[in-house]
Amino acid sequence: MSVIFVLIIISLIVAGAFLGLFIWANKSGQYDDTVSPAIRMLFDDKKKEESEN
Amino acid sequence: MMLETIATEEEVKCYHCGDLCSIEPVVYETKSFCCNGCKVIYELFQDSELQDFYLNRTIVETGKFDYLNNGDISKSFIQFRDENFYKVELSLPAIHCSSCLYILENLPKINAGVLKVTVNFSRKTAEILYNPKEITLSKVCDLLASIGYVPDLSKKEEKKKILDSNLAIKIGVAGFCFGNIMLISFPEYLGIDLNEDAAFTQFFGWISIALSLPILFYSGIDYIKSAIAGIQNKFINIDVPIALGMIVLFTRSFYEIYHGSGSGYLDSLAGLIFFLLIGRWFQSKTYEELSFDRDYKSYFPLSVIKISNGTESSTPINELQISDQILIRNMEIIPADSILLESSASIDYSFVTGESDPVKVNKEEVVYAGGRLIGSKIKLQVEKRSSQSYLTNLWNNQAFKKEKHSVSEELTNRISKHFTVVILTIAFFGGVYWYLVDPSEIWKVVTAVLIVACPCALALSAPFTNGNTIRILGRGGFYLKKSSVSEKLPEIDTIIFDKTGTITNQDSKKSIFVGEELNDELLSVIKSMTSNSTHPLSQILSNSIKQTESQLDYFNEISGKGIQSKIGSTNYKLGSGDWVGLQPKQNTINKTRVYFSVNENCLGYFEVTQTYRTGMSDLMYKLASRWKLMVVSGDNNGELEVLKNIFPEGTEYYFDQKPSEKLERIKELQVKGHKVLMLGDGLNDAGALKQSDVGLAVTDDISSFSPACDGIIEGQKLVRLTSYLDFSRDSKKIIYKSFGLSFLYNIGGISLALAGLMTPIAAAILMPLSSISVVLFTTLSGNYIARKRKV
* DSSP string over B80-149: EEETTEEEEEEE-TT--SHHHHHHHHTHHHH-TTEEEEEEETTTTEEEEEE-TTT--HHHHHHHHHHTT-
Mean pLDDT computed over B490-495: 87
User: How far A14 CA sits from the closest chain B CA (Å)?
Assistant: 11
Residues of B whose CB is below 8 A from A43: 101-102, 105
Tens of pLDDT, residues B521-558:
888 888 888 777 766 677 777 777 777 777 777 877 77
Residue A10: per-residue pLDDT: 93
Mean pLDDT computed over B744-758: 84
Which is more confident, B265 or A12? A12
Q: Is the pLDDT of residue B173 over 90?
A: yes
User: Which range marks the domain in which residue B535 is found?
Assistant: 510-609
SS3 label, residue A44: helix
Q: Which residues face B367 on adjacent strands?
A: B338
Which is more confident, B780 or B238? B780
Name, in order, each residue with C-beta under 8 angstroms of B125's C-beta and a sequence gap of 6 or more.
Answer: B89, B90, B91, B92, B119, B157
Q: Is the pLDDT of residue B131 over 70?
A: yes
Q: How many CB pairs under 8 A join A and B?
A: 61
Residue B203: per-residue pLDDT: 85
Strands in B628-632's sheet, in edge-to-edge order, are B478-480, B711-714, B694-699, B676-680, B494-497, B628-632, B652-654
SS3 label, residue B312: strand
CA pair distance B178, B272, nearest whole angstrom: 9
Identify which of B310-314, B360-364, B456-460 has the greatest average pLDDT: B360-364
Residue B47: per-residue pLDDT: 55
SS3 label, residue B368: coil
Percentage of chain B with pLDDT > 70?
72
Identify which of B5-14, B87-96, B638-647, B738-747 has the greatest average pLDDT: B738-747
Angle at B336 between CA B334 and CA B339, to 5 degrees: 85
Comparing B217-231, B256-270, B585-599, the range with the smallest average pLDDT is B585-599
Which is more confident, B142 or B38? B142
User: Which of B162, B166, B169 to probe the A interface (max A CBs under 10 A)?
Assistant: B169
Tens of pLDDT, residues B50-87:
444 444 444 555 556 766 776 666 776 777 777 778 88
Identify which of B233-237, B504-508, B677-681 has the greatest average pLDDT: B677-681
Find the residue in A nearest to B174 (Cα).
Answer: A19
Name, in order, each residue with C-beta under 8 angstroms of B655's C-beta and a sequence gap of 6 or more.
Answer: B633, B635, B636, B637, B640
Residue B91: φ, ψ to 5°: -90, 125
Residue B81 lies in a domain: yes
CA pair distance B538, B549, nearest whole angstrom: 14
Q: Do B169 and A27 touch (CB under 8 A)?
A: yes
Handedness of CA B387, B388, B389, B391 (dihedral sign): positive
How many domains does chain B fold into? 3
Residue B532 lies in a domain: yes
SS3 label, residue B23: coil
Burial class (CB within 10 angstroms; exposed 0-12, middle 13-18, buried 19+) of A8: middle
Task: Select from B98, B121, B169 the Cβ nearest to the Cβ of A26.
Answer: B169
User: How far B165 CA sits from the closest chain A CA (Å)?
Assistant: 7
Average per-residue pLDDT for chain B: 74
- If we measure between CA atoms, which residue out of B763, B659, B714 comes closest to residue B294? B714
Residue B687 lies in a domain: no
Q: Is the pLDDT of residue B651 over 70?
A: yes
Residues of B whose CB is below 8 A from A1: 197, 200
Find the residue in A nearest to B161 (Cα).
Answer: A32
Indicate the DSSP class of residue B67.
G
Task: Select from A16, A26, A35 the Cβ nearest to the Cβ of B1.
Answer: A35
Angle at B493 between CA B490 and CA B494, to 5 degrees: 125
Tell me how crowded residue B321 is: count the other CB atoms within 10 A of its CB. 10
CA pair distance B576, B586, nearest whole angstrom: 11
Q: Is the pLDDT of residue B111 over 70?
A: yes
Last residue of one domain, picked from the residues B346, B381, B396: B396
Largest distance between two CA atoms of chain A: 66
Q: What is the ipTM of this complex?
A: 0.81
HEC string of B639-669 equals HHHHHHHHCCCCCEEECCCCHHHHHHHHHHH
Residues of A whose CB is below 8 A from B176: 15-16, 18-19
Q: Is the pLDDT of residue B786 over 80?
A: yes
Find the residue in A nearest to B165 (Cα).
Answer: A26
CA pair distance B554, B314, nearest whole angstrom: 25
Residues in chain B: 791
Which is more confident, A48 or B95? B95
The amino acid at residue B481 is: K
Last residue of one domain, picked from the residues B128, B158, B188: B158
Residue B592 lies in a domain: yes
Residue B175: per-residue pLDDT: 92
Helix (H) or strand (E) holding B261: none
Angle at B332 between CA B326 and CA B338, to 5 degrees: 40
Q: Do B168 and A33 touch (CB under 8 A)?
A: no
Q: Do B169 and A4 touch (CB under 8 A)?
A: no
CA distances from B685 to B373, B633, B652, B692 (A): 17, 10, 18, 11
Residue B589: per-residue pLDDT: 45
Q: Do B169 and A8 touch (CB under 8 A)?
A: no
Q: Supply the DSSP string of B477-540, one letter for each residue.
A: TEEESSHHHHHHGGG--EEEE-IIIIIB-SSS-EEEEEESPPPHHHHHHHHHHHHT---HHHHH
Residue B4: per-residue pLDDT: 39
Q: Which residues of B344-353 are buried (b: 16+ CB within 10 A; e: fewer)?
A: ebbbbbbbbb
Residue B220 lies in a domain: no
Strands in B554-558's sheet, in edge-to-edge order, are B510-515, B601-609, B592-598, B570-575, B562-567, B554-558
Residue B529 lies in a domain: yes
SS3 label, residue B728: helix
Task: Select from B119, B161, B207 the Cβ nearest to the Cβ of A36.
Answer: B119
Confidence of residue B281 (pLDDT cuts 50, 70, 90): confident
Task: Select from B122, B123, B172 the Cβ nearest to the Cβ of A23.
Answer: B172
CA pair distance B135, B635, nearest whole angstrom: 49
SS3 label, residue B556: strand
Mean pLDDT computed over B743-769: 77
Q: Supply the DSSP string of B152-191, one letter for each residue.
A: BTT---HHHHHHHHHHHHHHHHHHHHHHHHHHHTHHHHTT
Q: Is the pLDDT of residue B450 over 90?
A: no
Radius of gyration of chain A from its Cα atoms, rounded to whole angstroms: 21
Indicate the DSSP class of residue B20.
B
CA pair distance B243, A44, nearest whole angstrom: 51
Name, in order, each residue with C-beta under 8 angstroms of B51's C-beta and a sequence gap of 6 or more.
Answer: B109
Residue B563 lies in a domain: yes
CA pair distance B85, B646, nearest whole angstrom: 59
Say how many CA atoms lie within 13 Å of B730 toward its Cβ.
Answer: 24
Find the residue in A nearest to B172 (Cα).
Answer: A19
Q: Do A8 and B184 touch (CB under 8 A)?
A: yes
Find the residue in A nearest to B184 (Cα).
Answer: A8
Residue B355: per-residue pLDDT: 54
Residue B421 lies in a domain: no
Name, in order, each residue with C-beta under 8 angstroms of B477's C-beta and a sequence gap of 6 or more.
Answer: B22, B713, B714, B716, B717
Confidence of residue B48 (pLDDT cuts 50, 70, 90): very low
Instruction: Find the chain B residues whose C-beta atoms sit closer than 8 A to any C-beta of A.
Output: 1, 50, 98, 101-102, 105, 119-123, 161, 165, 168-169, 172-173, 176, 179-180, 184, 197, 200, 203, 207
Mean pLDDT computed over B623-641: 80
Name, in order, each residue with C-beta under 8 angstroms of B789's C-beta and a sequence gap of 6 or more.
Answer: B723, B726, B727, B730
Residue B404: φ, ψ to 5°: -70, -45
User: How far A23 CA sits from the closest chain B CA (Å)?
Assistant: 6
Q: Do B165 and A40 touch (CB under 8 A)?
A: no
Mean pLDDT computed over B266-285: 76
CATH code for the domain of B105:
3.30.70.100
Residues B243, B245, B248, B254: what is their CA dihedral angle, to the nearest 10 degrees? -90
Helix (H) or strand (E) holding B403: none
User: Which of A36, A42, A44 to probe the B interface (max B CBs under 10 A)?
Assistant: A36
Residues in chain A: 53
Tens of pLDDT, residues B95-107:
777 777 777 887 8
Percentage of chain B with pLDDT > 90?
2
Helix (H) or strand (E) holding B404: none
Mean pLDDT computed over B595-615: 79
Residue B707: per-residue pLDDT: 54
Residues of A whose CB is below 8 A from B161: 32
Identify which of B17-21, B389-393, B609-613 has the greatest average pLDDT: B609-613
Look up the pTM and report it.
0.56
User: Which range marks the domain in which residue A43 is found?
Assistant: 3-52
Q: Is the pLDDT of residue B198 over 90?
A: no
Last residue of one domain, picked from the residues B589, B609, B629: B609
Tens of pLDDT, residues B420-429:
778 878 888 9
What percentage of chain B's residues is helix, strand, coil (to nearest 5)? 50, 20, 30
Mean pLDDT computed over B186-215: 80
The amino acid at residue B419 is: F
Cβ(B356)–Cβ(B659) below 8 Å: yes
How many domains does chain A fold into? 1
